């Protein structure tokens, strides 16, 4: 698996007059890491096709290997075969490095706490700044033994065998949907003789990611019954069973950059690997592009974006698609007025404080920015200024700002220097190479 790119310390992107062509998307990170863990918890062997090649999935694979789960990569493909542990991990003691992979550390913390053993989990410095307290509180409340070995509420963690028993769990929903995902994924391991209900306290953000979790659990034999978005029940006696073979669809968040490029420049740009049959909520990103005036066509496994004029400013709630919403902030540079992205407070606890980072870097391009606790207001500049963009070790910052090199109907792109482009290895190691295949440069 390619886990790191070979880009230099910075990349200079020249202005591109148009973006057009077709891109085959890498596998979804959210699906890849969920499926790898579900396969590890299942009875039987699972063949998983098109697993994402990235730092975050490598973190999960390494952790499963340390826990004694047997897996193998099939040749030079991104296909893996995972032999499940039937609800247990062979190795009851391990020291696990989790990098900055939230999709790995949150569900693994829950699984290790329920299965029991002696485990330590730690990551890069930013991981130790990303909250996990709501998940730990929910698990410790039912008998798990999870201790903080650094700052309370954050990794690193030390997990020891507890005495877990519960009919009901409670978790806050307003910081990260990954906490609820983690509890849902381990609930069948608790519900041996009686049903388990998980109640969400307050608002649940990023609901489409919970739909991904429930959909994939169903593929592995587990039915989740929900009452709106506040209560989720798992009946007793269910066990994870391998579906045999499972395909990872293309990453909808990664699709957003190419679709936005088509909308900004006129396109058309088509992405393959995700479409109307997608289980990912981020496909709804195209609804926002349509609101901005783009033309979207879609098949079962492809989406195409084009436009015939200046994009329209947008004022919308993006709680449901926080990652893809960053791309809308870039499209707003090419709009006909001020755009407002609302209800994006979760940006502040991602790979970096994305509200602050986006505001800082957009100002370098000449945009006028109003930054709130949970919103961003973007007034585009008369002309996009050439700029040196810092990426904050955040893959989405690097990919987003590549779009500022594009010529739109309202204003031309500029020379954009992307610092530390290697950070895209978290989800899309060859992003800039792929971006270059659709960006047509001025002569």
Active site residues: 323
Round to whole Å and give the CA distance between 36 and 104.
10
Give all strands of the β-sheet with 224-227 in edge-to-edge order.
168-172, 196-201, 231-234, 224-227
Which residues partner with 262 through β-bridges?
none
Whether the upstream peptide bond of residue 156 has omega within 30° of 0, thus cis, is: yes
Longest CA pairwise span in the chain (Å): 70
Q: Tokens 């700052």, residue?
A: 151
Torsion angle of C-alpha atoms 163, 169, 172, 178, degrees rounded to 10:
70
Question: For the chain, how big is the Rg over CA atoms in Å?
Answer: 21
- Decide: residue 442, CB within 10 A, 0-12 exposed, 13-18 middle, 19+ buried: exposed
Report the candidate in 368, 318, 313 with the shortest Cα–Cα distance to residue 338.
313
Contact 441, 413 (CB under 8 A): no
């Amino acid at each position: 698996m390619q886990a790191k790119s070979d880009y230099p310390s910075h990349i200079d992107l020249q202005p591109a007059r148009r973006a057009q062509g077709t891109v085959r998307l890498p596998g979804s990170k959210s699906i890849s890491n969920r499926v790898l863990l579900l396969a590890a918890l299942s009875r039987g062997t699972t063949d998983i096709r098109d697993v994402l090649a990235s730092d975050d999935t490598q973190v999960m694979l390494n952790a499963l290997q340390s826990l004694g789960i047997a897996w193998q990569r099939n040749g030079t493909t991104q296909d893996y075969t995972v032999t499940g542990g039937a609800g247990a991990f062979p190795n009851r003691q391990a020291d696990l490095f989790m990098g900055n992979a939230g999709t790995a550390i949150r569900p693994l913390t829950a699984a290790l706490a329920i299965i029991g053993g002696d485990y330590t989990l730690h990551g890069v410095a930013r991981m130790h700044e990303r909250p996990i307290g709501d998940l730990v509180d929910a698990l410790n409340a039912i008998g798990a033994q999870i201790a903080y070995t650094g700052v309370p509420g954050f990794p690193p963690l030390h997990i020891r065998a507890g005495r877990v028993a519960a009919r009901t769990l409670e978790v806050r929903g307003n910081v990260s949907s990954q906490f609820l995902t983690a509890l849902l994924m381990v609930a069948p391991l608790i519900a041996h003789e009686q049903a388990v209900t998980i109640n969400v306290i307050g608002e649940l953000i990023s609901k489409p990611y919970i739909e991904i979790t429930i959909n994939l659990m169903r593929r592995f034999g587990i039915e989740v019954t929900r009452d709106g978005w506040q209560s989720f029940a798992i009946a007793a006696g269910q066990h994870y069973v391998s579906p045999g073979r499972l395909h990872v669809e293309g990453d909808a968040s990664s699709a957003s950059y190419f679709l936005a490029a088509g909308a900004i420049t006129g396109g058309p740009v088509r992405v393959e690997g995700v479409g109307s049959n997608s289980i990912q909520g981020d496909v709804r990103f195209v609804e926002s592009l349509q609101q901005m005036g783009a033309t979207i066509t879609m098949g079962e496994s492809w989406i195409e974006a084009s436009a015939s004029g200046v994009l329209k400013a947008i004022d919308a709630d993006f709680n449901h698609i926080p990652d893809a919403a960053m791309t809308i902030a870039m499209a707003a540079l090419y709009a006909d007025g001020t755009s407002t992205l609302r209800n994006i407070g979760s940006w502040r606890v991602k790979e970096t404080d994305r509200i602050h980072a986006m505001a800082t870097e957009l100002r370098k391009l000449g945009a006028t920015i109003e930054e709130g606790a949970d919103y961003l207001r973007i007034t585009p500049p008369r002309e996009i200024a050439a700029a040196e963009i810092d990426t904050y070790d955040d893959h989405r910052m690097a990919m987003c700002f590549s779009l500022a090199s594009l010529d739109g109907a309202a204003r031309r792109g500029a020379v954009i220097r992307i610092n530390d482009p290697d950070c895209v290895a978290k989800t899309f190691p060859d992003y800039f190479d792929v971006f270059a295949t659709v960006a047509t440069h001025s002569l």
